[in-house]
Structure 1
Amino acid sequence: MKGSVLLFLIFICAFGTVSHAQQKIRLNDNWEFLKQDIGGVWEAVRPVTPGNPESVPVWQKIKLPHCFNARDAVDPDINYYQGPGWYRTQLEIKNPYPNGKTLLHFEGAGQKTEVYVYTTKVGAHLGGYDEWTVDITQAIEDFKKTDVCQKRFKGHIPIEIRCDNSRDLETIPSQLSDFNVYGGLYRYLNLVYEPSLSIDKIFASAKIDDAGKQGELQIKTRLYNPDHVSTAEGLIKLIDPKGKLVVQKSYKLNNLADDAEIGSFRVKKPQLWSPDAPALYTVEVSVKYGGEVDVQREKVGFRNFEFVDNGPFHLNGKRLLLRGTHRHEDHAGVAEAMTDSMMHQEMQMMKDMGVNFIRLGHYQQSRTILNLCDSLGILVWEEEPWCRGGLGGKVYQDEAKEMMTNMIEQHYNHPAIILWGLGNENDWEGDFQVYDKEKIRTFMKAQNELAHRLDPSRKTTIRRCDFCKDIPDVYSPSIWAGWYRGLFTEYKKTSEEEFKKVKHFFHAEWGGDSHALRHSENPDKALSNIKAGTGTDERLGDASLYGGAARASKDGDWSESYICNLFDWHLKEQETMPWLTGSAFWVFKDFSTPIRPDNPIPYMNQKGVVERDLTPKESYYVFQSYWTNKPMAHIYGHSWPVRWGDAGEEKMIKVYSNCDNAELFVNGKSYGTKKRNSQDFPAAGLRWMVALQNGNNDIKVVGHKGKQTVSDHISQQYQTEKWDKPAKLLIEKISDENGVATIQIKLVDSKGVQCLDAVNQVAFSLTGDGTLMDDLGTSRGSRKVQAYNGRALISVKTNNGKSVVGVQSPGLSTVFLNLEQ
């Protein structure tokens, strides 16, 4: 098979029989895509003549994974595409098993999918987030018998796939959700060769006693048995984290129709799985029939956990404060079609920030993410995509049941998972004419019972549906202190009040938006207009930038400065809440959404501590200073080139660090050493008041943690010259490297002084040979964006040619810049 493929070859030797190689091949290359519907599958396979003007429509060559909405999800001028799209390829089939099966294994495709071999429909699936397979064995054999197979396709097998993310009220998640419902083959697609009898699933339940000295492993299996074989035999192996065989056992089955218990083991003093030491054992199960052997391997971990009644969370018998975040499957330039390397980078950045818990919002996510959570030591809340909008009819409810079932069965073995989410914000009405709380409660109870029946070992949970809070095991209310309601200083009091209302409390979703590269000398100014004591819960309309009560989400400056203060306060308070199970701030990475067109970056939810391309914001280091042990120190303001104020005015310089103490130097002069105290807000006491000099200032910090020393350094300009309102735009090229030119626009007053508080929207355009690097959903990669401190940036791929960059802003004259190589 041509192109780059991922090929797993497993040679099995069991009972004296050597099987053929079991193959799983990632189908990444040699695809074509059409972003529209066609009259029928025949239009995807009919013969065409090169150069024939009737050979329409035109398909584009792409690689998988691929998302319809890689760019239009954040196009500021249009709604993102929701509709059908087609994919096609040709496969060379080489199944090594004489009586084997050939399958297509989808790791996820959005949202309704149909699969064809030539013109024969072989399968369909509803739901964009669970895994599924299609057996194409018979369709291949039938097609091989046709003349067209050899004469036109030279023995290759044409595959066509139709994906559709059209709006449909009777599917989940709701279109009212604060994220895009993407379309496409946005997770990996695999070609799988299996023997006639193979393993479909392994269910491995690893337990330990309360003392952690005795482990027990119970194993069930479900076989893929389309030929209705009646008996089989196999082998089970347990391998420890270092690769040493712990035990093995053979088994025989006489009933292959149902899930079968095939073995159990006791393990003395197992290595326990935890965030600090995520020890993973391997369970290997093989099944033999007719001289052929199939094998599967699963990772498991020995650990126990407890949500103490009206108390904290325990892992392996000890209190663990869950330090969490959230994740959407979304990334600059590719939307949901993230590669393994992108996902690994993202999860490693979370771990490096100190995260030990994650809520995967609001749907089953890629197997790659769950594997990374297991290996990195990040506990997981994973939930079905019943999100907002109310409750639909039978099709809607059947889909929810199936997706809950698939999620639990497909991710059953992951030791990282401790919570199954039943839904999100199910009190949010709007999709249906009738909104019936009792029907929602009834269905929530059914889903809760289903989750416990499928997996008695884990807990269930929901976030924000007060009239259902008694149903799941763990409940998370709405507390958005300092953003959607109230002041962030009210966080602890509100949390204590909510904690007393339920048996098991967790705080999912808190934080706020920040426009990357925007900073403020007075970030808390808007708080003076917000009335305390009116609640901190999110309510309908609070995300709007217009009307309603005063709130930071509407009246604040959306600066990184403000959000750092909000995070800093929450984190220092959490250290004084011994009853707290934990919390998860919303969200690790900025992500696209169809319901926020007026944000500083249109169609972006900007609550991340990193941008959509994983560029860290300043707030990333606030969390790192509280949650990590490896020595670090970060001066606030790496992305703040110019500060402002009066001559001689003292300015606060903050350092976020986990060091015991730190010394600050400004322009070579020491401003003393300060000790870190987490309760000394802000910056845990590591702050200095300094009179900056007009012009450039060199700022350095040296931190000490035990015998280890770390340092950080930035340079900042200090502007004392005052400005009037923006009067014109200045455009300049500030860098040109490796074929990429970076363009900066500044807003200045009539005297040419930069307006450092200007937040005007600017719009970039380009004509010529270059390519504007826009529609990325980042502060530096958006065609329309609000200015940050009177400036905005974008990049252009010059393509070794000539181009003209244009910049517009309402009320100001348009400016242009010629780019020449």
Structure 2
Amino acid sequence: MHTQRLTDGWTHYRGTLGGPWEVWRERVYGNHFNVPWHAVTLPHCFNASDGVDPDTTYYQGPGWYATELTGANPYPGGRTLLHFEGAGQRTDVYVYTRLAGSHLGGYDEFTIDLTDHLEYCRAALGGTGVPIAIQCDNSRDLETIPSDTADFCLYGGLYRDVNLVHVPAISLQHVHVASELTDSQSATVQVSVRLYNPNQFSDAVSFDVILRDPSGQVVRQAEVQAEAFAGEQAIASFMLDEPSVWSPDRPALYECTVQLASPHGRTECTERFGVRQFSFEPNGPFYLNGERLLLRGTHRHEDHAGVGAAMTEAMTRREMQLIKDMGANFVRLGHYQQSRIVLDLCDELGLLVYEEIPWCRGGVGGQAYRQQCRDMLTAMIEQHKNHPSVIIWGLGNENDWPADFESFDEQQIRAFMIELHELAHQLDPSRVTGIRRCEFCKDVVDVYSPSIWAGWYRGTYPEYKQYLNEAVQQTPRFLHLEWGGDSIAGRHAEELYSGLDVIPTGQGADERDGDYKLTGGPPRVSLLGDWSESYICELVDWHLGVQESMPSLTGAVQWTFKDFATPVRPDNPLPYINTKGVVERDLTPKEAYYVFQSHWATSPMVHIHSHHAPVRWGEPGELKTVRVYSNCDSVELFLNGESQGLRQRDPQAFPAAGLQWKMAFEAGVNRLEAVAYADGERLVDQLDFEYQTQRWQSPTHLRLSTGPREDGRVFVSVRAYDASGVRCLDAHHVVQFTLAGHGRLLDNLGTVRGSRRLQLSNGRAEIEVETDPQGPTIICVTSEGLQGDSCELRHPANARPQRQPASTPQHAVSQASSSDRGIL
């Protein structure tokens, strides 16, 4: 097998064409047809920017890609394939103008065989290159999954890798390795293969099967002779004595290599696998390899600032490592099959996996709709069942949420859920099935999660343990799959949200349709709260303490690890962004990340709360609370060099395991230093901030300031001030950045530093501008009811001293302080 990743040499056009000939007529007759083709590299998402554009909904429609394949197949009579690791959401592949194959589904892998079209292409064009045109289409279609009511973007494009593959006429299509831990001393391993043999040759074939242990040593081998066969067949079985078991702490991975020889040529395939066993005890905990394991989980969407779904391998590796470093041992891949790179990393890092198909909201459609569900479930299981990290196949999410069809029939949904459950067990008897939030199907699947959002969508977070206990008792195999809340990076509260007394209690904590909206419905924190990092840290701290105090709990999975784009939340403080992540959309950690580490991480850590608050405020001499999150035995806190005392960490204490101090800050710049001690190791975290004692009135105007230049880029900060020129540190007004002249805003990133429209956080916001040596850039900021501001920016190549913007009121402060500039 010869595989080439097709990264370069692509052109792209987002829009409709009359047919594949329009891809090539530009090249034949010249660019007379005004189709704007652009050079791109793969992976590429054609919603990389507009998924979070505050002024428009994201594009849903066709997008075209074109390239030319070169190089001959080294196998006489072999097959030439295009292998897609995922493309959204419908894909048509053309060899020149002839359709070679199509695929429906934006998240599973698929292969298009080009072989039978190559001769036509040579006859039509001559030469050795093979012109390929690909149409990806993410147009709305109620008879497909996922539903457009789902709380995430249905991206379009070749947003995962595409590979050119040459194989012999008979080759390996799949190698499946099934292992079973029979007892602590031995395990069985069965190797099955499926051949790719479209011409149905009946030649003799031979297999060499080689197993290597986690150290790379060969531990078992077999040679098998057979005739070419159809379907999947077991070709070898082995017994492993004293196997190395896979677990989150020691993710031991074996390798199985199958070498295939036939008169047409030789190929081989290597798959990794692990040996482990697990069980969900009825109304009890989860066991892995015979030992109780509390599942400490989070969620992942395939979404990133600046690229949408087209995450590079480096981005993915960084994200998965951050999840592991947070201390998680479990990840739910919501709400669709994700990249093979993700699953490989879960195997390597020791992250147990819940992976699901995108039957998400909307009801259930007709036969084509249901067939797509079956196909995607089959593909997900066949493509990922070698991964020891996977323990649960998810069949759906929030299937009690109507919208897509005139009728909503619970019995039809239930009957189809039963069918999918049976199909999953037929395809893979070794794993369990699960769904979240569909009470009329809770008894269909093996593992179920009701909706519990205590302290956010319903109820208050002190009620969490009550609702969790009730769910454990009422659900034979329970796993809490979503909890948490929204926070805006950089938003701090000196006094924690105090409106819990107006939130109805004792009425359940389930999220109900419409609760995500910012208007209407019953009182709830998501509607009335401040969306501060301060509140979310307290909510997270409480939830984690409850989870760790329940010996019968299987585990809980926070929603979600990273902020992500969603079309159903245009009015959020950060438009079109679900901000429940513990890191931002560009993987910048928020404060809550360190709360998780203090409960879950095994490596020593210490973090002073409020790193994202460059300015705090209060009265002179007022006692202020400082919290430190750490998993170390003890922490000593220093303010401006003076010790505030040593505290012993108490895991049962709330908040911050008792690591909190009260002290009076000095007006102006202060320095906090936390020194943690664990097993003789000394760790230090340091934080500088400004303490403002001036009181402010209602804000009247905005003022811009600029931060340091780097490669022609400028950080532009805006602050809100009152009529006396005092910073208004509780202002949450919506501000809009605009630009004129040369240069450009680095916006549409879905982060607090990369959005041209967003709410202020503590009276501040920031954006980055790329200047241009061709001329000046004018940046403006406006907000309804406030006087705006503007300033001129110049590229470092032709910079000159900036003059005071004429729009700045005379009573405004002349310049933001250094500690308040270039930070958010």
Q: TM-score range by the shorter chain?
A: over 0.9
Q: Does the residue aligned with 2:296 lie in a helix, a strand or coil?
A: strand
Structure 1 residue 149 corresponds to structure 2 residue 159: no
Contact 1:735/1:743 (8 A) holds in 2: no
- Aligned match of 1:815 in 767, 775, 789? 789
Match of 2:100 in 1: 122
Contact 2:542/2:655 (8 A) holds in 1: yes
Contact 2:78/2:264 (8 A) holds in 1: no
State the Cα distance separating 1:528 from its structure 2 match.
2.4
Match of 1:35 in 2: 14
| CA distance in structure 2 between the partners assigned to 1:642 and 1:106 by the alignment | 49
Superposition map of 1:299-314 within 5 A: 299-314=272-287
Superposition map of 1:385-534 within 5 A: 385-534=358-507
State the Cα distance separating 1:53 from its structure 2 match.
6.2
| CA distance in structure 2 between the partners assigned to 1:752 and 1:301 by the alignment | 64
Contact 2:170/2:264 (8 A) holds in 1: no
Structure 1 residue 333 corresponds to structure 2 residue 306: yes
State the Cα distance separating 1:516 from its structure 2 match.
0.5
State the Cα distance separating 1:275 from its structure 2 match.
0.4
- Aligned match of 1:216 in 164, 184, 188? 188
State the Cα distance separating 1:736 from its structure 2 match.
1.3
| CA distance in structure 2 between the partners assigned to 1:357 and 1:43 by the alignment | 47
Match of 2:522 in 1: 549
Match of 1:317 in 2: 290
Structure 1 residue 253 corresponds to structure 2 residue 226: yes
Match of 1:4 in 2: none
Opposite residue 122 of structure 2, the aligned amino acid is K
- Aligned match of 1:75 in 14, 38, 53? 53
Opposite residue 50 of structure 2, the aligned amino acid is D
Q: How many residues align?
A: 793
Match of 1:687 in 2: 660
Structure 1 residues 405-458: Cα deviation after superposition (integer angstroms, max 9, x where no partner):
000000010000000001000000011110000000000000000000000000
State the Cα distance separating 1:253 from its structure 2 match.
2.3
Unaligned runs of 5+ in 1: 1-21
Match of 1:639 in 2: 612
Structure 1 pair 156–53 and aligned structure 2 pair: CA distance change class (3 A): closer
Q: TM-score, normalised to structure 2's length?
A: 0.95
Contact 1:284/1:297 (8 A) holds in 2: yes
Match of 2:806 in 1: none
Contact 1:592/1:777 (8 A) holds in 2: yes
Superposition map of 1:656-695 within 5 A: 656-695=629-668
State the Cα distance separating 1:765 from its structure 2 match.
1.1
Contact 1:48/1:55 (8 A) holds in 2: no
Structure 1 residues 269-293: Cα deviation after superposition (integer angstroms, max 9, x where no partner):
0111000110100001111110611
Match of 1:19 in 2: none
Structure 1 residue 95 corresponds to structure 2 residue 68: no
Moved over 3 A (4+): 47-50
Structure 1 residues 566-596: Cα deviation after superposition (integer angstroms, max 9, x where no partner):
0000111111100000010000000000000
| CA distance in structure 2 between the partners assigned to 1:611 and 1:686 by the alignment | 26
Contact 1:487/1:527 (8 A) holds in 2: yes
Q: Does the residue aligned with 1:619 lie in a helix, a strand or coil?
A: helix
Superposition map of 1:151-190 within 5 A: 155-190=128-163
State the Cα distance separating 1:317 from its structure 2 match.
0.4
Contact 2:168/2:264 (8 A) holds in 1: no
Opposite residue 592 of structure 1, the aligned amino acid is A
Match of 2:683 in 1: 710
Unaligned runs of 5+ in 2: 800-824
- Aligned match of 2:540 in 555, 561, 567? 567
Contact 2:298/2:332 (8 A) holds in 1: yes
State the Cα distance separating 1:607 from its structure 2 match.
0.2
State the Cα distance separating 1:365 from its structure 2 match.
0.3
Structure 1 residue 627 corresponds to structure 2 residue 600: yes
Q: Does the residue aligned with 2:399 lie in a helix, a strand or coil?
A: coil
State the Cα distance separating 1:814 from its structure 2 match.
2.7
Match of 2:722 in 1: 749
Contact 1:202/1:298 (8 A) holds in 2: yes
Match of 2:819 in 1: none
Match of 2:172 in 1: 199
Contact 2:201/2:228 (8 A) holds in 1: no
| CA distance in structure 2 between the partners assigned to 1:301 and 1:53 by the alignment | 54
Q: Does the residue aligned with 1:216 lie in a helix, a strand or coil?
A: strand
State the Cα distance separating 1:617 from its structure 2 match.
0.2
Structure 1 residues 61-115: Cα deviation after superposition (integer angstroms, max 9, x where no partner):
1111111100000000001000001000111032111121110000001111100
State the Cα distance separating 1:236 from its structure 2 match.
0.5
Aligned-residue sequence identity (percent) comes to 53
| CA distance in structure 2 between the partners assigned to 1:734 and 1:260 by the alignment | 64
Structure 1 residues 650-695: Cα deviation after superposition (integer angstroms, max 9, x where no partner):
1110000000000000011101100111221111100000111111
Structure 1 residues 627-652: Cα deviation after superposition (integer angstroms, max 9, x where no partner):
01111100011110111111111111
Match of 1:795 in 2: 768
Opposite residue 7 of structure 2, the aligned amino acid is N
Match of 2:807 in 1: none
Contact 2:435/2:448 (8 A) holds in 1: yes
Structure 1 residue 26 corresponds to structure 2 residue 15: no
| CA distance in structure 1 between the partners assigned to 2:168 and 2:306 by the alignment | 39
Structure 1 residues 482-517: Cα deviation after superposition (integer angstroms, max 9, x where no partner):
000000111111000011111101000000000001
| CA distance in structure 2 between the partners assigned to 1:602 and 1:758 by the alignment | 18
Structure 1 residues 202-250: Cα deviation after superposition (integer angstroms, max 9, x where no partner):
111011123x210110111100001212232111110111111111101
Contact 1:93/1:157 (8 A) holds in 2: no
Match of 1:15 in 2: none
| CA distance in structure 2 between the partners assigned to 1:714 and 1:610 by the alignment | 20
| CA distance in structure 1 between the partners assigned to 2:164 and 2:731 by the alignment | 54
Which stretch has the larger CA shift, 229-238 or 274-283? Answer: 229-238
State the Cα distance separating 1:811 from its structure 2 match.
1.3
| CA distance in structure 2 between the partners assigned to 1:457 and 1:176 by the alignment | 33
Superposition map of 1:364-403 within 5 A: 364-403=337-376
Contact 1:49/1:55 (8 A) holds in 2: no
- Aligned match of 1:57 in 35, 40, 49? 35
| CA distance in structure 2 between the partners assigned to 1:393 and 1:253 by the alignment | 42
- Aligned match of 1:648 in 599, 621, 639? 621
Opposite residue 201 of structure 2, the aligned amino acid is V
State the Cα distance separating 1:400 from its structure 2 match.
0.3
- Aligned match of 2:243 in 270, 273, 287? 270
Which stretch has the larger CA shift, 41-50 or 127-136? Answer: 41-50
Structure 1 pair 528–159 and aligned structure 2 pair: CA distance change class (3 A): same
Opposite residue 81 of structure 1, the aligned amino acid is Y
| CA distance in structure 2 between the partners assigned to 1:481 and 1:284 by the alignment | 49
Structure 1 pair 58–765 and aligned structure 2 pair: CA distance change class (3 A): same
State the Cα distance separating 1:49 from its structure 2 match.
7.0
Contact 1:631/1:709 (8 A) holds in 2: no
Superposition map of 1:704-743 within 5 A: 704-743=677-716
Structure 1 residue 596 corresponds to structure 2 residue 569: yes
